Structure formats: C-alpha cells, structure tokens
Amino acid sequence: MSTTTTPAKSGVRSVEGAPLLQLDGVKMHFKTKGDGFFARGTKWVQAVDGVDLTISPGETVGLVGESGCGKSTTARLITRLLEPTGGQIRYQGVDIAHMNERQLRPYRREIQLIFQDPYSSLNPRHTVGTIVGTALRTHDMVAKSGELKRVQELLEVVGLNPEHYNRYPHEFSGGQRQRIGIARALAARPKIIVADEPVSALDVSIQAQVMNLLENLRKELGIAFVFIAHDLGVVRHFCDRIAVMYLGRVVEEGPRDSLYEKPQHPYTQALLSAVPDIGVVRGVPPKNRIRLVGDVPSPVDPPSGCRFRTRCWKAQDICATDDPALIERAPAQRVACHFAEPPAESILAETA
Amino acid sequence: MSDQSTQAPHTVARVPRNPAANEEAYLEVTDLQVQFPTADGLVRAVQGLSYSVPLRRTLAIVGESGSGKSVSSMAVMGLHDRKVARISGSIKVGGREIVNMSDKELEGYRGGDAAMIFQDPQSSLHPYFTIGDQITESYRAHNNVSKRKAKDRAIEMLGRVGIPNPRRRVDQYPHEFSGGMRQRAMIAMALVNDPKLLIADEPTTALDVTVQAQILDLISDLQRDFGSAVVFITHDLGVVAEIADDILVMYAGTAVEHGPVNKILGEPLHPYAWGLLESIPALTGEPQPLHPIPGSPPSLLAVPTGCPFHPRCEFKDRVPGDLCTTLKPDLIPRTADLGRTSRCHLKEPDQVFQTEILPRLP
C-alpha cells in the first residue's frame, strides 16, 4: 500500500487502493468506578475487544448479536462518536481513530448514522426543514438560497410530502420520523451510512416500508451500509455480508448465504436455531432447536480463551487456554472457533 | 470442561401444536367495547371484540401498535381505571362476570384466578424489594399462610421457572438479575397462585432471541403442567406459529381474522393478514422484495367508515359499489373451514390468496 495521501477538495485524505473502511483490532474499554479508596478496584468493561471488519464501496455489512455484544458500540466507533482505546479505524486508508474534532469534520460528512429510536433522535422544537437543513449547513452542502429546495428534494427522496418541511416531528408517525432521520443522513451525501437498529422500533408493515426505502437508496445512490439489527431475517434481507458478534468480538463473518446455510460457529448455529419460524404452520417439518444454557458472561470479566466456551457444548480444555483466531474456514467465511464445522443438517427449516 | 460424549448441543424438539378441540371456554369475551373520552374526542380503542379461550389452550392476539390488543387484555384483567375508561360488553372468566365487578372483588380476582406477565420486567418489578418479597406478597394476598411458608413457596416457584440456586436468589434484588432471569422471576410471581388464566403481553419482545426461545419453552411447559388458558399478545408471527393454538388478528380496534393458527397463518383470508405476511423477510431462499402495506394505521379518534382497513387495502376496487367504504363487514366464516372467521367483503378470498398472494410469499 502506498503511503502517500492525496487530500481531496472535501478535505478527506485517502490512500490509493485502500478499502473504504477498515477496522483493525478496534477496542473500546470503558472504565467503571471502583468501590475501593482512590478508585482502587477500577474495572474495565470490554465492550468491544478487537474487532476487524472491512467494508467496500456500496457494500452492505450486517452486524448481528445479542444485547451487550458490542454492536452498537462498534457503530459509535465507526462514526467516531467514541474514541477507541485501541486499534485503528481507517477510512480510505487514513486512520481516523484518534483525530480531533477539527480534523474529523470532513470525515463526519462521509460517514453518517441513523438511529434506532425515531422519537428521541429528532429535536422536538425544530421543524423538519430545520432538522434536515442543519445537516446541509453544517457540511456546507448548498448555498443558503438553495437550502429549502434541497430539503424538499430530500423529503421527496425518502417518501415524505415536500410541503411538510415546516412541520414538527410530533406531527409525524414513527415510520415517517424514521424517514426524516434518513433524509438528515442523506443530506451530507455520505459514502457510508451506519444504521443502528433502524427498523426495530417500527410496526411490521411500516418496517417493510422503511426497509424497501433503504434498499432503493442503496441501489440508486451506491451508499455502503453498516446495518445493525438483532432480527436475523431483516439482516439477511438487507446485507451482502454478515458478521456475528459475541461479547465484544466477531465470532463469525461471511457472505449471507454461507453464513445462514452453513454456519460454522456454535454460537451462530444456536442464534439461528432460536429464531421462531413461521414455516411450521405451512407444513414445513419442524427442526430441533439448540438451547443455550445460562447467560452471557459479564464483559467486565470475560472468560479466558474463547469467550463463548462457558455456554458451548463443544468446549474442551484448549478453549479455556487458547483464544481462537478468526480464520477462513470456507470461501470468504471466517470463524473464530477451535472446533468450527458446518452443522450436520440445516439449522433452518427448508421451504419446500 | 466436558468430554467427547457431551459434544452435542442441548436441543429441544419443536412440537407442532395440537389441532382444535371443542372444549368449554374458560375465558369468554363478548362484544367488548373500550372507549376513552379525551380532550381530542372519543378514542374507540376496542370495538365489539368477541373471543373465547378454553383451559389448556393458547390464543395469540396479533396486531400493530394501536390495534387494541393490549387495551382489550387489560380489560380482561380488570386493570382499567373506570373513571377514565368506558367498558361495555361482557367478559366472563370461569363463569364470573368481570365487567362491573366491584373493586374489592377485582382484588381477589387479579393475581388469583387470572395473572398477567408484562413486556418489561424492569418496570414491573419493584427495585426496593427483593424478588422473594414480591413473590410472597402476591402469595400471601391470596392465601392465609405464614411468611415462612410463603417464602418456601417463592423458592419453589423460582426453581420451577428455571432460576438456578433459588435459595440464594430469593433474597436478591431485581437489579442483580439479568433480563431473562427477571422475566423468569416475573413469571414465577404471576404463577404463584396457580392462575387458570394467564395473559402474557409481549413477554419476550424485550428479550434476545436465545433468551426468548427459553422463555417460550418455559411458558409452554408451565401451561402443560398447570393446565391454564393462555392469552398471548405479540406482534411477532414467528412466535405465534410456535406457541399458539388459535390466533386473533386485530386492526384498529376490531378483530379482522380469527381461527386455528395453521389456517390463519397458512391460508389467511384477510388482506391485512396478507400484508403482514408479505412484510416479513424470510430466513431461507433468495431474498424477495417485500410488499409492505401502504400508509399507516388509522387514529382511533377517527376510525374510517366501513371496513377500517379500506384506506390501505389494495383489493377494495374488486368489491362492487362502495361497500368497503360504507359498510363494516361482519366477522363471519368465509370458506367451508369450520371455526375460522374473517371480516372482509372480498369474494372468494381463498382463491385470491392461492393465485395472487401465495406466489409472492417468501
């Protein structure tokens, strides 16, 4: 890789031939207050502990995992709302992990975030025009005279009535508010959108509307997505590549089809088999479910070696001593497990 | 660490639910109406809802926010403030009428014959009291026993819902429990008086999928052991397919489809149910474009005339005249199938489903 960087007009530097976004051993350890005198017994919550991830232009990468696995923290690291305690976050080859606010400004424009809760992520005292317009102004996207026109264009793109620019968030439904959040993210003409559970708070019929909107935007504008969700069906529908996280680490990563059809990590297998399946009523023979025992261990004091070993039915002595590396076990499919293998039979019920 | 012989995952068979059985209803709701007068006008939250659930069976009530699924179930539990809510119709539990029951009678009914599990265990457990205190309080309110006996009962119940080390756990506070454990503790509290009717309002929505699977198994097991009638409120059709015998689909305060789960999810007859199925992405096969229902659910302050679903229905043009916009259809059998009803004017909905909807489903 060449070391010369070429600053573009936007102020974003880039290294020739580097991937759009690359996380390299990214760590985020949060300090917790110790109960001892002089903060003795200070502990570190290892929310994200060594995540590697690469995103190419226009690609959609899904992050799945259960609460506390670090997927939202990863979203906040990519968008640099948090400064990592270790590792590198390279945007077009340039490490943005420890940049200050002023240096970050041009990068903030190119990496946008969509939030889960459409009710708390919009300022209730601002009109939709102000909310979207602020994003335009912050990043000097249009001249003042063209601002309203651009706001209306954006509202139209996300399927809202452009005449409603002077309304307030409370006048919109949940699905419409999520569209406002999407319009705000699009205002900066980003190259990457990090969507943190963008449809989880919405009703089923509205959820499908917003997913179709995101899908169209991706196809038409060629924006890369980091799509975070706990609903495995939603992630599968939207993403080319999916990474499964457990307790701050990526345990398995691969192309959509191989990950859902031939998951190799025991945790991925358990996760997929736990999804309630509507196919049962359409005469699809029911599959047995893998039941995980116990709870996710605390990220303050994670198990030694493989972090999943305390709940894993395959665990051996080696799992407690050797931390399994994320290595390629099938084409483009990387697994962090000493005993990785595809399941004997399909985890998901086949549709006839 | 384990040896080779334990190298198989702990699996649970997915048991298909038993087919319909004609049993006497334990819970019988007839023409239930719940209205809330507000400054903006009258909110018609539930309009003429009727259903019944026999012992040992599970009815799933499905619908989106504002469909009336929670409001109707709170009425069954007698949880509405009668100064605020207007309730009419009839709710019979084990032959007793709940509507117009006195507050004193209601106190004996709630937590005794009928119990409820809520979505959010965090806010349903009191942070100042130990888990044991909260379970014994519920037990002693309905049984004249000593504190010691009640605590033994609490320990027994915690063990029953799969909380490890219940003797130690009983003296802990809610914050010392994980989300899944809190939900188990709340189920223990609900079941401490052997209720014959259990209402579960989105009990797994806040939980992760592996924990959700554990809780669904637990509710099924407990229902089998206690023989209760269960009303399960959810918006997740996958969960319904796994846990329910019957299903009631609600839209804008009314039931639009009702019947055995394999029929309603397998061959639904109402355009709203079709729309729901077409909105769910599949876990297998090539991802297909979703066909969401256009628009959003109506405000309960101004429920549309005629069929409440007509503003979002793509089939209303197939019904002659302006029937859909003027006349609310009845909830009636639409095919030869016994025990299922649907509320729609569309002719031969089974044909439309087979030829137009089924090929589009993932």
Mean pLDDT by 10 residues, chain B (362 residues): 54 56 84 94 94 94 90 93 92 93 91 88 87 94 94 93 90 89 90 92 85 87 89 92 93 95 92 92 84 89 93 92 92 87 94 91 76
Q: Note the pLDDT of residue A59.
A: 94
CB-based contact B61:B250 (threshold 8 Å): yes
Interface check for A288 against chain B (CB to CB < 8 A): the answer is yes
User: Mean pLDDT throughout A6-27?
Assistant: 83
Task: State the pLDDT confidence band at A2, using cuts at 50, 70 and 90.
Answer: very low
Question: pTM of the full predicted structure?
Answer: 0.87
Backbone dihedral region of A328: left (phi > 0), alpha (psi from -120 to 50 degrees) or beta?
A: beta
Q: Which of residues 241-300 of B touch A (CB under 8 A)?
A: 241-242, 261-262, 265-266, 275-285, 287, 289-294, 296-297
CB-based contact A299:A68 (threshold 8 Å): yes
3-state secondary structure of B310: helix
Q: Note the pLDDT of residue B4.
A: 43
Whole-number Å distance between alpha carbons of B317 and B310 = 10
Residues of A in contact with B278 (CB under 8 A): 208
**Residues ≥6 apart with Cβ < 8 Å to A127:** A165, A166, A167, A168
Whole-number Å distance between alpha carbons of A249 and A27 = 9
Higher-pLDDT residue of A209 and B207 is A209
Q: Note the pLDDT of residue B111.
A: 86
Task: State the pLDDT confidence band at A352, using cuts at 50, 70 and 90.
Answer: very low
Structure tokens at B110: 């709630």
Q: In what order do the strands lie in the sheet with A86-91?
A: A43-55, A21-32, A86-91, A94-95
Phi, psi of B59 (to 5 degrees): -105, 125
Structure tokens at B356: 């137009």
Q: Out of A203, A275, A315, whose CB is closest to B238?
A: A275
Task: State the pLDDT confidence band at A9, using cuts at 50, 70 and 90.
Answer: low
Which secondary-structure segment (H or E) carries B324?
A: helix B323-326
Domain boundaries, chain B: 25-244, 268-360
Structure tokens at A291: 């039941």
Mutation choice for A interface testing from B6, B204, B209, B216 by most A CBs within 10 A: B209
Q: What are the distances in angstroms from CA A293 to CA A289, A317, B211?
A: 12, 19, 9
Phi, psi of B222 (to 5 degrees): -65, -40
Q: What is the mean pLDDT of chain A?
A: 89
Closest Cα of chain A to B88: distance in Å?
Answer: 29
Q: Note the pLDDT of residue A1.
A: 46
User: Mean pLDDT throughout A253-261?
Assistant: 94
Interface check for B175 against chain A (CB to CB < 8 A): the answer is no
Catalogue the E-assigned strands of chain B.
11-12, 25-38, 41-54, 58-62, 86-93, 96-97, 114-117, 197-201, 229-234, 246-251, 254-260, 341-342
Identity at A212, one-letter amino acid code: N
Q: Note the pLDDT of residue B2.
A: 41
User: Mean pLDDT throughout A115-124?
Assistant: 87
In this complex, do B279 and A208 lie within 8 Å of one another by their Cβ atoms? yes
User: Which of the residue ranges A7-11, A17-21, A44-48, A225-229 would you say has the lowest mean pLDDT?
Assistant: A7-11
Whole-number Å distance between alpha carbons of B64 and B81 = 23
User: Mean pLDDT throughout A53-60?
Assistant: 94
- Taking 90 as the threshold, does the pLDDT of residue A92 lie above it? yes
Tens-place pLDDT, residues A259-312: 999 999 999 999 998 888 787 666 666 667 888 887 788 888 899 999 999 999
Closest Cα of chain B to A68: distance in Å?
Answer: 10
Nearest CA in chain B to A238: B287
Whole-number Å distance between alpha carbons of A20 and B135 = 55
Residues of A in contact with B240 (CB under 8 A): 278
Q: Note the pLDDT of residue B120.
A: 80
Q: Note the pLDDT of residue A291.
A: 82
Q: Note the pLDDT of residue A43.
A: 84
Whole-number Å distance between alpha carbons of B310 and B323 = 10
Structure tokens at B165: 């080390």
Helical spans, DSSP H, in A117-241: 128-138, 147-157, 174-187, 204-221, 232-238
Q: Are strands A13-15 and A5-7 parallel, antiparallel or unpaired?
A: antiparallel
Q: Which of residues 145-184 of A touch B (CB under 8 A)?
A: 173-176
User: Which of the residue ranges A83-92, A150-159, A292-301 would you say has the lowest mean pLDDT?
Assistant: A292-301
Interface check for B213 against chain A (CB to CB < 8 A): the answer is yes
- Judge residue B140's burial from the number of C-beta atoms within 10 Å of its C-beta, 0-12 exposed, 13-18 middle, 19 or more buried: middle
Residues of A in contact with B359 (CB under 8 A): none
Q: Note the pLDDT of residue A293.
A: 80
Whole-number Å distance between alpha carbons of A285 and A349 = 7
Q: What is the CATH number of domain B25-244?
A: 3.40.50.300
In this complex, do A280 and B214 lie within 8 Å of one another by their Cβ atoms? no
Which secondary-structure segment (H or E) carries B51?
A: strand B41-54
Mutation choice for A interface testing from B210, B217, B299 by most A CBs within 10 A: B210
- Taking 80 as the threshold, does the pLDDT of residue A115 lie above it? yes
Interface check for A211 against chain B (CB to CB < 8 A): the answer is yes
Q: Note the pLDDT of residue A125.
A: 94
